[in-house]
Structure formats: structure tokens, C-alpha cells
Amino acid sequence: MAIDRRREAGGGGRPLPEENGSVPGAVGGGPAAAAPPGPPPANVAGAEIQAVPVPPPPAACSPLLLDYDGSVLPFLGGLGGGYQRTLVLLTWVPALFIGFSKFSDSFLLDQPDFWCREADGQGNWSGSLAPSHANHSGNGSIFPPPGLPTPAGGNASECDCHEWHYRIRAGLVQNVVSKWDLVCDSAWKVHIAKFSLLVGLIFGHLITGCIADWVGRRPVLLFSVIFILIFGLTVALSVNVTMFSTLRFFEGFCLAGIVLSLYALRIELCPPGHRFMITMVASFIEMAGQFLMPGLAALCRDWQVLQAVIICPFLLMLLYWVIFPESLRWLMATQQFEASKELILQFTHKNRVNTESDIKGVVPELEKEIARRPKKVCIVKVVGTRNLWKNIVVLCVNSLTGYGIHHCFAKSMMGHEAKMAITHNFYADYYTMAGIALASCLAMCPVVGFLGRRGGLLLFMILTALASLLQLGLLNLIGKYSQLPDSGMSDSVKDKFSTAFSIVGMFSSHAVGSLSVFFCAEITPTVIRGGGLGLVLASAGFGRLTAPIMELHNQKGYFLHHVIFACCTLICIICILLLPESKNQNLPENIPDGEHYTRQPLLPHKKGEQPLLLTNSELKDYSGLHDSAAVSDGISENTTANGMKSM
């Protein structure tokens, strides 16, 4: 019985011979070990072997059912089916509401110009009270900014005011800053409020991604919608900034669940040739929300009304519980075949597909496997892989670098302080940032279509690294020459170069961040796609988090911050070369599929060569090395690996 357990633990193969050729477990001083080989006694050994048979290994799932892109999706009509097109459209509509929520901080927490009204009722400007830590959209104040925190003495006496008056530039009559007088010594609370939404997004991506792999995309989407309605509308009823910041954390958490589940559903609905196009359409709709946000703020006038108007459209998504099904790809990958059969019948009924056109026999195979138990996987399983974890980590670092260095370029273009801004108009600054993001997405479409995912990501990362290094190195050199009396250069030349490099850097870094998220969604297997997306989106959130952190410290360490991210871009360029190419490839469904999703060689190797990086067709399972040892008892002990006799 002990031998049988060892055989089962070792995969059911034959026991490995020891150095003396004996069978493991037959060592010892007993007479049974020393007995010559022969038929065992029928009443002892034979009875024991028959009493404890080795259980056969469970049969593997039918490969036809795991080939979703090649078998199941064509049977359902692909993207040509009317029901699939309707579902894709339903994933696009909420992108507009998501755009409103993501860019609401620019209006709710915009730093206005402010002054103190004296006791005599006359509006007197009390010195330099315009905040210097304004966001990337500039400040527009005519007064020199003070430092934060306010030092004792000097400006400390000017901040001793009982009634503040504000001039808000973001189209609102009142926002969060003017509501609770978050200026001077309380100005740091504004950055904490920005911080809370981003931290909520980070935790939301990590947690809801794992939940989506365990319970499905549809429950995560619906519960996130319910709770964002609760927390989002409660934000508008906040009585102080602490309550506002806390509720914004939970709002960001729920918003992350909506973003992640819709992204995964959108990817899993599409055939290989349409994934990128459909994802980019969703990005354009989200940017439409960014462009419409100033007009929405001008119509609402009050921050509480604006917050309610941003959240209320999510009420429409409650209908998704009735009209939006679970991801069929995820159900098939996790072997939930009973639910898959019901959903396939629903698809065929909606698309009016004749089941007799099932040439490959998907439905009969599904009937055979319908009793199989579900097999769900957590993202932690990726730690035991050889290639998959490397690909996910590389894309997480790319996402972190892209979104992190984007803030460095934005601050360089707008100036480290409000008085250095290239414009003094909130709307000009806001639409400049939005226009650069739009141009980046427009450029991604032909570049990725021509170069592929890996080539496009590599190109945009090289542009980001060049813009960063030239801005850090060349501008310092220009600054030194401009100080010479006969150089003929001025500070305006340096400013023009800085602006040009910043625009190029913002353009390319935005593409790097967006493409990293999409790339990760394609190479991560379906069974853990939620967790993989959660990791890369959380990394993007950490990159965005550097902006309020730097503002909280009044831009101290800004240069070092830029240098660190510039070094990261160089590391990322090398790591991108290790990634596979997923253009027009089927999505991996399980972890072995993702593990074999390796990089294709740039040039085909010649016949007879042994490339270091094998293609999918050339990959060999290294566990076969252990199986080859099982037949070594039939080979002479003095035979070497190359078949030659040892001396």
C-alpha cells in the first residue's frame, strides 16, 4: 500500500531505480528484499494489489470547449451576432459616466483665488494668499504664492482671518475648498481628499479583481453599481471634509469594480481581430466625459449638485442585472458547463443561430462534460509559473512608470508653481491636458495596428525615455549656456524646449499606461484575468498617486522624482523585449495556456539552430524529463546520456 501511495504521488509512473537497480521501498534486511525475483504468492501480494487499485487520473476537459475563440465563438456568430453587438454597446455606455467620476476632482477640489474680507465689510486683498500648490491646471492668481505649510510668522498672521472670499475658476459658484475654507493651514486637507479617491481605486482594483475571478464579472459589476450609488450620493451630503474624504475612498473602491468588470467583459466578448478597436472606442467615450465635464460643472454651479449629477446616471446600470449575462468565456474556462449550456442556448436564441450548424460539435461535447465540477483559480497561483508572472510584473512596472512620469511632464509644462504656468486660464489648461490624451489615443490606433502590441509599447516607451532624458540633461546644458554673455540664448529658449519635451512626454506616457493595461488583459488567462487586470490597474493608480503626494510636500523632491522615473523607463525598454505578441492571437483560457504564451522570435531561426526563446509549437513540457527516468531500468547502467558505453 505504501508503494501505491508513492506511485500516485509521483504521477502514477513506474518507480525510479536506485543505484543498485532495486525498487524503492524494497530495501532493508528482510527476507522479502533478498528473495530472487519471481511471481509473488497469490494469497499475499496478489490479494493486496487487487485490494488497493491505483485510481485512474481524472480525464482532462475536452480541448474543444477550452478553444473559445476557435470553436465556441464562431458557433455563436462571433461579433456578427446581434446579441454580442448589443452587449458590447452596453459596455460602452457606462464609460461616459466613468469619465465624469474620474475627472471630478479637477472641479470639486480646484484651488480658487481667495482673500480675506476685513471687519469693515470692505473686500481687501490681504497680501500673498494665493495657494502655490494648485493642481496641474494652474492657478491664475496675480499674487505670489506662499509656501506650505505656512511658516510661523510672516504669512501666518495673514492667514489669521475669520471670513474668506473666493473666486472659483472651474465654473462652480462653490466647491469643497470654499465650502470648508480649506486654505492656508488647512490646505493640506485638499490633497488628502484627492489622495483618498486614488487609494480607493487602488484597493478596489486589487480586491474586486480577485472577487471577479471567484464569483464572476456580473456580480462584481452589479454590487459595485449599488454601492457607488450609496456612497456617491452620500458624498454630496457630507458635513465636513473628513466625511467627504472617507466617502470618496469608498466611492473610488466601487468605481474600480465597475471599471475592472466592464474592461474584462469587453475583452472576453470580442474575437481576436476586434479587441483593440472595441477597447479604444470605450476609451474615446470616457474622454468624451472628460471634455463634457466643464460644461456639466457650469450647468450645476454647486459642487453638491455636480456630485449628484455625476452619480445618478449609474442608476441606469441597475437594469444590467436583467439584460447583461455572465461572461460565457469565464464560465467555460472555469468549467461551469451547466451554466454555460444555458447561456449558449440564450445566445443561439437571441442570434437565431441554427444548432444544426454546430459542425465542431460544441453542444454535444458540452453535454458530455456537464457533470464536471467547477475549477476556479486565484491570482496567487501565478507565483508558481515560469513565464506568466514575469509578463504580468513587466506590464505592472510599465503601467506604474507611464502614469507616474506623466505627472512629471505635466508639472514641467505647467510650471512647478502657479506663476510659471504657460496659461492663466483653467479651461485652457484643462483642455490642453485632455487634447494631449486624445491625440495619444488616436496615435495608438495605427501604431498598434502596424507594429502590434509589443512593438507599439516599445515605441512609446522609447519616446517617453527620450523626452525625459532630454528634458533632464539637455535643458540643464542650455541653461548653462544661456548664462554666458555671448551665447545669444535666453530663458525663453529653454522654456520652449521644456514645453516641447513635456508635450511629447505626456503624449507617449499616456499611451504607455493605456497600452500596458490592454496588453495585460490579453496575455492574462481568463481564469485569473480579473486579478491580473487588478494588479496592472492598481500599479497605474500608484503612478497617479505620486501627483497628490508631490503636491502635499509642495513639490519638494520633484527633480529626484523625475530622475527615478526616467531610470525606470530605461529598465522598461529592456523588459518589453521579453513580452509575447498577442495581436490576432486567441486569449489564453487557463494558466497552462498563459504559461505557453511566450515571445515569438523577431527573425525565424535557421534549420538546425536551437533558439533560446522557443515558439508555442516548440515548447516542451519539462516534466517529461521525469517520465524518461521511469524507463531507465530497461537501459544498461553503464550507458551514458548520448548512448555511448562508459569505460
pTM over 0.85: no
Q: What is the CATH number of domain 380-599?
A: 1.20.1250.20
Cα(522)–Cα(527) distance, integer angstroms = 12
Domains of the chain, residue spans: 380-599
Distances (CA, A) of 7 to 2, 14, 55, 262, 559: 9, 7, 11, 46, 62
- Cα–Cα distance between 341 and 331 in angstroms, integer? 10
Q: Which three cell numbers stand for residue 556?
A: 519638494
- CA nearest neighbour of 493 among 504, 485, 482: 482
Radius of gyration of the chain (CA): 31
| Gap between the Cα atoms of 627 and 632, Å rounded | 10
Tell how strand 164-167 and strand 113-116 pair up. antiparallel
Do the Cβ atoms of 637 and 18 come closer than 8 Å?
no
Q: Which residues contact 366 (CB under 8 A, 6 or more apart)?
A: 65, 337, 340, 341, 344
Q: Do 21 and 633 form a contact (C-beta atoms < 8 A)?
A: yes
Q: Which three cell numbers stand for residue 386?
A: 515560469
Q: What is the pLDDT of residue 116?
A: 74
For residue 372, what pLDDT is reported?
79
**Quick one: pLDDT at residue 164?**
74
Beta bridge partners of residue 164, listed in sequence order: 116
Query: Are the C-beta atoms of residues 278 and 84 closer than 8 Å to each other?
Result: no
Torsion sign (Cα): 523, 526, 531, 534: positive
How many C-beta atoms surround the C-beta of residue 522 within 10 A? 24
**Sequence-separated (6 or more) residues with CB below 8 Å from residue 160:** none
Q: Which helix (H) or strand (E) holds 165?
A: strand 164-167
Alpha helix positions (H), 135-187: 155-158, 176-179
What pLDDT, on a 0 to 100 scale, did the predictor assign at position 307? 93
Quick one: pLDDT at residue 410? 84
Backbone angles phi, psi at 123, to 5 degrees: -80, 100
Residue 182 confidence (pLDDT): 79
CA 204 remoteness from chain centre: 12
Cell of residue 273, nine digits: 481581430
CA dist., res. 324 & res. 86, Å (int): 10
Q: Specify burial of residue 183 (Cβ count, 10 A radius: 0-12, 13-18, 19+).
A: buried
> What is the spatial distance between Cα 552 and Cα 548, in angstroms, rounded to a whole number?
6
Are 273 and 82 spatial neighbours (Cβ–Cβ below 8 Å)? no
- Give every residue of the chain whose pLDDT is below 50, as ranges: 1-52, 54-57, 119-121, 123-157, 416-423, 616-647
